[in-house]
């Protein structure tokens, strides 16, 4: 197969002809059974490598009764190889700091250090050697090519440049693609206004960020008298949060900018995180199985879900040598299918992208609710102002759900009509009665990173009832 070895050894001078739909025509369009046979060979090599170099995997697999010599089929991989969790990774790094004993490459080879911020627990450090970084750049360039970006295009990376892998991964792909990299960043006060001004000046073809930030940026541009459609953007690809596969969110971004929107992104630990990503002709997210082997599994049994079913993605690196993840359970929820793709690639697909994290789900009166579902419903409601908060609590014996919503409307009649329409849309989608409070435009916090919109706060809930003049249960 085209440039496929372990460890990978890509030709950095290679690029397809500009008119080619595929970066690697054989790998991307080969019969699935033929690819799976090659994937099995790669899994055997990766597992032998990890067992020989990592105390973490050797200890975990010995306890499970698995040895790489037993790996003779993809079914055996699923049956015999235990999943790895983020808790396992944190425990390993606590016991063997800073990179854990799942570091397989010598520490002196580390080329880049990234990681989580640690805002919800112990930070997790990502160690990448130079060859891994090169493989990430090649994979991302290949997938960005599938979206339509080409050498010479200007690609704006409007995400925080810190430990966050998203911005760096997009930048590495743009550079390998031969594009003009425009690493604008995000996060500093006043930076969103400046970003809109720079986009107007530079006219980039591509844009990377989070869906939340793209909507915020577009609205900021309008407030400054700039038309986002005048930025000249053609391709906007996103990661970091659900949204780009949600019709309401995707349509809102496309209407703001007049650009094609692509969903991408699995986990920072799995970089190249664009291993699930859409293409120019195919919506949702393709599972680029020859980059990272993806299974969608039942969250309890970790057995593969049938195509058409829902489950949590479980990922395995096929090219990483420094900290290879082997059956890392994502904790996200998705649905996968295996059917012909309009782009001709023979990969399974996540038609609705990633719904969200399973632990982000909350239950209201017995109904499971994902914040992304509410986000989608509001973005499809005319007059939505681009920001909201979800307030949940338990009043007496009943769960309650209240939304604080900004609107882009004026006049009491129009605002009240929106409030009723939003509550009706949420009730129709979720089967739940919802109260909606309209708040002044710009009163809710904005983010230039991932949106955090769910509040579980009884005091806030009571305050909202008082402000709305509503009786409890009314």
Spatial separation of the C-alpha atoms in residues 386 and 407, rounded to whole Å: 7
pLDDT digits (tens, 9 = 90+) for 405-446: 999 888 889 999 998 898 888 888 777 778 888 988 888 877
The residue with greater pLDDT, 336 or 398, is 336
CA distance to 96, 162, 329, 375, 440, per residue, from 415 (Å)? 57, 40, 44, 19, 11
Q: How many residues does the chain have?
A: 474
Instruction: Check whether 107 has a pLDDT greater than 60.
Output: yes
Of the listed ranges 274-278, 331-335, 387-391, the one predicted with least confidence: 387-391
**pLDDT for 471:** 39
Residue 260 C-alpha from the chain's centroid:
17
Contact present, 390 and 455 (Cβ < 8 Å): yes
**pLDDT for 399:** 63
pLDDT digits (tens, 9 = 90+) for 282-295: 999 999 999 999 99
Region of 334 please: left (phi>0), alpha (psi -120 to 50) or beta.
Answer: beta
Give the mean model confidence (pLDDT) for residues 125-154. Answer: 98
- Closest by Cα among 31, 33, 30 to 22: 30
Give the mean model confidence (pLDDT) for residues 41-48. Answer: 98
In the chain, how long is the greatest CA-to-CA distance?
71
Spatial separation of the C-alpha atoms in residues 40 and 324, rounded to whole Å: 16
Q: Across the strands, what pairs with 115? A: 125
Q: How confident is the model at residue 94 (pLDDT cuts 50, 70, 90)?
A: very high
Of the listed ranges 212-216, 364-368, 374-378, 385-389, the one predicted with least confidence: 364-368
**pLDDT for 466:** 52
User: What SS3 state is found at 320?
Assistant: coil
**pLDDT for 174:** 98
Give the mean model confidence (pLDDT) for residues 36-64. Answer: 98
Give the mean model confidence (pLDDT) for residues 118-140. Answer: 87
Give the mean model confidence (pLDDT) for residues 228-235. Answer: 98
Contact present, 66 and 80 (Cβ < 8 Å): yes
**pLDDT for 365:** 56
- In the chain, the domains with their CATH numbers are 1-358 (3.40.50.12780), 361-468 (3.30.300.30)
Q: What percentage of the chain has pLDDT greater than the value 90?
A: 69
Q: How confident is the model at residue 461 (pLDDT cuts 50, 70, 90)?
A: very low
**pLDDT for 410:** 87
Give the mean model confidence (pLDDT) for residues 123-144. Answer: 96
pLDDT digits (tens, 9 = 90+) for 297-343: 999 999 999 999 999 999 999 999 999 999 999 999 999 999 999 99
Structure tokens at 4: 């496929």
Cα angle for residues 200, 204, 207 (degrees, 5° grid): 105
Instruction: Check whether 388 has a pLDDT greater than 60.
Output: yes
The residue with greater pLDDT, 37 or 391, is 37
Instruction: Check whether 248 has a pLDDT greater than 90.
Output: no
Give the mean model confidence (pLDDT) for residues 50-66. Answer: 98
Assign 3-state DSSP to the chain and report helix, strand, coil percentages, each to 5. Answer: 40, 20, 40
Q: What is the CA radius of gyration of the chain?
A: 23
Q: How confident is the model at residue 198 (pLDDT cuts 50, 70, 90)?
A: very high
| Chain mean pLDDT for the chain | 90
Q: What percentage of the chain has pLDDT greater than the value 70?
A: 90
Q: Across the strands, what pairs with 388? A: 405
**pLDDT for 456:** 60
CA distance to 278, 305, 349, per residue, from 336 (Å)? 13, 9, 6
**pLDDT for 249:** 85
Q: How confident is the model at residue 459 (pLDDT cuts 50, 70, 90)?
A: very low
Q: Across the strands, what pairs with 110? A: 129
Instruction: Check whether 403 has a pLDDT greater than 50.
Output: yes
* Burial status of residue 422 (CB atoms within 10 A of its CB: 0-12, 13-18, 19 or more): buried
pLDDT digits (tens, 9 = 90+) for 142-192: 999 999 999 999 999 999 999 999 999 999 999 999 999 999 998 888 999
Contact present, 358 and 332 (Cβ < 8 Å): yes
**pLDDT for 465:** 46
């Amino acid at each position: 197969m085209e440039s496929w070895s372990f460890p990978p050894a890509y030709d950095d001078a290679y690029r397809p002809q500009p008119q080619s739909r595929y970066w690697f025509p054989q790998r991307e369009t080969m019969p699935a059974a033929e690819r799976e046979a090659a994937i099995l060979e790669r899994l055997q090599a990766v597992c032998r490598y990890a067992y020989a170099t990592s105390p973490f995997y050797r200890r975990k697999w010995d306890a499970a009764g698995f040895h790489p010599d037993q790996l003779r089929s993809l079914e055996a991989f699923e049956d015999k190889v235990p999943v790895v969790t983020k808790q396992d990774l944190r425990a390993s790094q606590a016991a063997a700091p800073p990179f854990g004993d799942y570091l397989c490459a010598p520490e002196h080879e580390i080329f880049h250090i990234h990681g989580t911020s640690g805002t919800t627990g112990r930070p997790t450090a990502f160690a990448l050697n130079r060859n891994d970084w090169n493989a990430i750049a090649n994979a991302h360039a290949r997938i960005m090519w599938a979206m339509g970006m080409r050498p010479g295009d200007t690609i704006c990376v409007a995400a925080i440049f810190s430990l966050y892998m998203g911005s760096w991964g997009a930048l590495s792909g743009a550079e390998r693609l031969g594009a003009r990299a425009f690493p604008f960043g995000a996060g500093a006060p006043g930076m969103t206004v400046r970003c809109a001004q720079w986009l107007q000046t530079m006219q980039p073809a591509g844009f990377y960020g989070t869906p939340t930030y793209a909507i915020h940026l577009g609205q900021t541009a309008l407030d400054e008298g700039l038309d986002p459609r005048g930025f000249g953007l053609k391709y906007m690809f996103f990661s970091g949060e659900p949204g780009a596969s949600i019709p309401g969110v995707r349509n809102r971004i496309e209407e703001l900018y007049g650009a094609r929107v692509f969903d991408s992104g699995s986990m920072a630990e799995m970089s190249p995180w664009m291993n699930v990503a859409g293409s120019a002709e195919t919506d949702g997210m393709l599972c680029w199985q020859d980059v990272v082997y993806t299974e969608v599994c039942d969250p309890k049994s970790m057995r593969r879900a049938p195509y058409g079913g829902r489950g949590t993605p479980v990922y395995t690196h096929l090219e990483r040598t420094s900290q290879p993840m082997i059956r890392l359970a994502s904790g996200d929820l998705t649905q996968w299918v295996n059917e012909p793709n309009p782009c001709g690639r023979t990969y399974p697909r996540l038609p609705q992208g990633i719904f969200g994290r399973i632990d982000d789900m909350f239950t209201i009166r017995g109904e499971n609710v994902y914040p992304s579902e509410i986000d989608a419903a509001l973005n499809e409601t005319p007059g939505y102002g681009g920001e909201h908060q979800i307030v949940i609590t338990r009043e007496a014996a009943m769960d309650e759900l209240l939304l604080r919503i900004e609107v882009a409307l004026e006049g009491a009649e129009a605002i009240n009509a929106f409030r009723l329409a939003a509550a009706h849309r949420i009730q129709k989608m979720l089967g739940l009665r919802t109260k909606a409070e309209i708040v002044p435009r710009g009163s809710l916090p904005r983010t230039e990173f991932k949106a955090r919109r769910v509040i579980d706060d009884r005091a806030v809930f009571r305050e909202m009832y008082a402000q709305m003049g509503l009786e409890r249960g009314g």
